């Protein structure tokens, strides 16, 4: 592909005691594309996300982020440093701040794009803090409207339905204006209608230049939206390619699609 890569994994290996959750996984994610990671349960998909976002540190391998000239290495960086570089993520088992309202949850997403410190809170007349909080509020409002959760703004997050919580988590991730978005099974538990809306939304985000790395089980979601698909099985990459090519790959059919097709 002639496109420039934004994320570059080289031989990433992660072990948990005796279990090798990722064994020497390498692939690249091109800027502005939707790349899906698929694989059976326990294949290591979530572990891969945890390594990229700094939640886990891989034992071996390199993870580079950014365009060629200014690439940073992510291995060894803390999650908050990686978030600052422009990677936002969601979680397979939604991790919203349940006690906080929907609006507050989304505002926490703007944390990396704002700077007000302790003194700004005490000294309320600084222009910067004032403008900044306006900007954050505005951003949160627009995202809530876009994801059709603005009516829920003042509800505590834990009171929402599953599908609503997924959208709040997505809005929270987007509130940080990321360069790259990691979505861990965003369609899980959604209705057919919600799935369709999600797919349209992902395509719209790509249109706006966002790069998306997506973990998804539902092939009806993966195949139409993905530009590129990476297949993991037992921690190893067994194939990668366009959705069509991957679907026809014999090993993939055996390891994954074969089971689903039965």
Partner 1 sequence: MKKQRRDWMPWTFLILAVLPFFPFNSYQIDVMANAALYALLALGLNVIVGFAGLLHLGYAAFFAIGAYACAFLNLNLGYPFWICLPVSAAVAGAAAVLLGLPVIRVRGDYLAIVTLGFGEIVRIVVTNLEPWTGGPNGLMGIGHPMIGRFNFGVDSRPYYWLLTALLALTAWICSRLRRSRIGLAWAAMKEDELAAGCLGMDTTRLKLMALGVGGAVAGMAGSVFAAKQGTVTPDSFDFIVSVMILSMVILGGLGSVRGAIVGAVILSITPELLREFAVYRMLIFGLLMIVLMRVRPQGLFGASSLKRVLHAR
Interface with ligand ATP (CB under 6 A), residue from 39, 66, 186, 243: 39
Tell me: does residue 155 bind partner 1 (CB under 8 A). no
Tell me: does residue 190 bind ligand ATP (CB under 6 A). no
Using H for helix, E for strand and C for coil, what is the string for 67-119? CHHHCEECCCCCHHHHHHHCEEECCCCCCCCCCCEHHHHHHHHHHHHCCCCHH
Structural contact between residues 44 and 9, judged by C-beta atoms closer than 8 angstroms: no
User: Could you tell me the end-to-end alpha-carbon distance of the chain, in angstroms, rounded to an integer?
Assistant: 34
Sheet of 236-241: strand order equals 87-89, 180-184, 211-215, 34-38, 228-233, 236-241
Tell me: does residue 92 bind Mg ion (CB under 5 A). yes
Tell me which stretch binds partner 1 (CB under 8 A): 35-43, 99-107, 195-203, 222-230.
99-107
Least Å distance, CB 175 to partner 1, is 9
Count of Cβ atoms closer than 10 Å to residue 148 Cβ: 11
Interface with ligand ATP (CB under 6 A), residue from 3, 4, 11, 19: 19
Tell me: does residue 92 bind ligand ATP (CB under 6 A). yes
Tell me: does residue 75 bind partner 1 (CB under 8 A). no
Least Å distance, CB 254 to Mg ion, is 21
Tell me: does residue 259 bind ligand ATP (CB under 6 A). no
- Residue 32: name its binding partner from partner 1, Mg ion, ligand ATP, none (Cβ under 5 to 8 Å by kind): none
Structural contact between residues 75 and 61, judged by C-beta atoms closer than 8 angstroms: yes
Sheet of 72-73: strand order equals 19-30, 5-16, 60-65, 72-73
- Residue 89: name its binding partner from partner 1, ligand ATP, Mg ion, none (Cβ under 5 to 8 Å by kind): partner 1
Structural contact between residues 4 and 68, judged by C-beta atoms closer than 8 angstroms: yes
Q: Which is nearer to Mg ion, 21 or 198 (CB)?
A: 21
- Residue 16: name its binding partner from Mg ion, partner 1, ligand ATP, none (Cβ under 5 to 8 Å by kind): ligand ATP
Binding site for ligand ATP (CB under 6 A): 16, 19, 21, 39, 41-47, 92
């Amino acid at each position: 592909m002639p496109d420039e890569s934004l994320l570059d994994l080289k031989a990433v290996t992660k072990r948990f005691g005796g279990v090798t959750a990722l064994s020497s996984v390498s692939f690249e994610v091109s800027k502005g594309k939707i790349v899906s990671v698929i694989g059976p349960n326990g294949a290591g998909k979530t572990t891969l996300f945890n390594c990229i976002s700094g939640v886990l540190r891989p034992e071996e391998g390199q993870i580079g982020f950014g365009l060629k000239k200014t690439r940073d290495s992510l291995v060894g960086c803390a999650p908050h440093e990686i978030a600052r570089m422009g990677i936002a993520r969601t979680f397979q088992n939604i991790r919203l701040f349940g006690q906080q309202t929907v609006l507050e949850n989304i505002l926490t997403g703007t944390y990396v794009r704002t700077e007000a410190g302790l003194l700004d809170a005490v000294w309320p007349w600084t222009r910067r803090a004032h403008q900044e909080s306006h900007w954050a509020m505005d951003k949160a409002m627009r995202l809530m409207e876009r994801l059709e959760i603005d009516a829920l703004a003042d509800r505590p997050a834990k009171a929402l339905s599953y599908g609503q919580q997924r959208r709040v988590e997505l809005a929270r991730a987007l509130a940080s204006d990321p360069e790259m978005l990691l979505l861990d099974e965003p369609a899980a538990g959604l209705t057919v209608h919600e799935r369709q809306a999600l797919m349209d939304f992902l395509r719209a985000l790509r249109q706006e230049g966002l790069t998306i790395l997506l973990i998804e089980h539902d092939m009806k979601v993966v195949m139409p939206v993905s530009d590129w698909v990476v297949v993991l099985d037992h921690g190893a990459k067994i194939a990668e390619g366009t959705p069509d090519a991957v679907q026809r790959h014999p090993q993939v059919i055996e390891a994954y699609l074969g089971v689903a097709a039965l």
